[in-house]
Amino acid sequence: MPAPSSFATWWEQRAPAASAAALATCTLTVGLDLAGYEVLSRVFLGLGCAAWLMLAADFTLRLLRAGARWRVQVRMPSVLDSMAAAALTTVAATAVLGTGFSAAGSPSLAATLLVPAVLLWPVPLALPAQDGERRRPGTVFARCVATQGLAVLGAALAAAESAAWLAHGALVLFWLGLVLYVLALARFDVRQVAEGLGDHWLAGGALALSALAGAQLLTADSARLYLWNDDALGVLRTATVTLLVLALAWYAVLLAAEFVWPRPRTDIRRWATVFTWAVSGVAALAVAAALDVGWLDGPGEALLWVAVAGWLCAAARAVTAVRAGVRPGPVRSRARR
């Protein structure tokens, strides 16, 4: 029986966490479109599609090959938690990719992506935590990220298709996502601020994605739909602005922590950091457009370009890791001398 290739082994070890790379890439698509860089946005949309297809193919192959091994693995708490976090991040990536297609003028493709995202979302969401009361890393916020990703796509489609029911469904998801964030924050290990290897940034990224969802809900309203009355509109505006302020505060705290406690080690979890940088810029741009706050455009675009630079660094490190992973090692003869 032939041994698996070095690349196959490398990918097997990293695929569960690679969904954050697809999520970061798709988020940049939305942000660059908001900033007016249409061509660059389409480039990242293509890259996001490629990353998403790789994840879909990997997930399908894992299901086909699992058999009895799958039943053994799901009994392992650490494996089950990792699978749930990866599935939730994939839901968010699917939803944000759909938002990118909606922004590119393809609402039908966006609606097509909404279906598998909605169908997959409840499964990992319903899984109970497998580690009791132990404090968790940044992946504890994956439930909030997945839920708010669906809210973002639902609101975008509601605006594109003039579908009030989609907007109302997205509003329910928006508030549910905030509840999930509070529950996650109670279980988050604050020591990750000093020790985390990248996914701890989701503490701020989940709030930024929530602010983006709020901005999308505000933008979806129109004289034709009349989604929100004055009271509801005021509450939604206040919540959206508050979420953006809190997200930017997390950004400042986590960035300062990176200088106080440097972490030079390269880790695939850094894609979660890139996602947070990207969604923070996108949220600022979306709130600026939704509430007509022009002075937010500058900071939002600056944060977006920081995320692009971070994406390029993370991509370069990933390419280097792939080359190192597929490079054949020395072959040792087992023959007796």
Instruction: Region of 75 please: left (phi>0), alpha (psi -120 to 50) or beta.
Output: alpha
Share of the chain above pLDDT 70, in %: 81
Task: Specify the pLDDT at position 322.
Answer: 66
Domain hosting 149: range is: 6-325
Q: Residue 50 falls within a domain, yes or no?
A: yes
Enter the pTM of the model: 0.89
Residue 37, domain member (yes or no): yes
d(CA 245, CA 230): 23
pLDDT tens for each residue of 34-57: 999 999 999 999 999 998 888 777
Query: Does 333 fall in a domain?
Result: no
**DSSP codes of every residue in 201-244:** GHHHHHHHHHHHHHHHHHHH--TTT----HHHHHHHHHHHHHHH
Determine, yes or no, domain membership for 174.
yes
CB 252 within 8 A of CB 278: no
How many domains is the chain partitioned into structurally?
1
Residue 331 is assigned to a structural domain of this protein:
no
Q: Is 334 part of a structural domain of the chain?
A: no
Domain annotation covers residue 74: yes
Burial class (CB within 10 angstroms; exposed 0-12, middle 13-18, buried 19+) of 6: middle
Q: Given this model, what pLDDT does residue 328 score? A: 46
| H-assigned helices in 67-191 | 68-73, 77-103, 107-120, 122-126, 142-161, 164-187
Q: What's residue 154's pLDDT?
A: 95
330 within domain boundaries = no
pLDDT in tens, 208-223: 999 999 999 999 987 6
Q: What is the CATH number of the domain that holds 160?
A: 1.50.10
pLDDT tens for residues 221-240?
876 777 888 888 899 999 99
Q: pLDDT below 50 — which residues of the chain?
A: 1-13, 16, 68, 326, 328-337
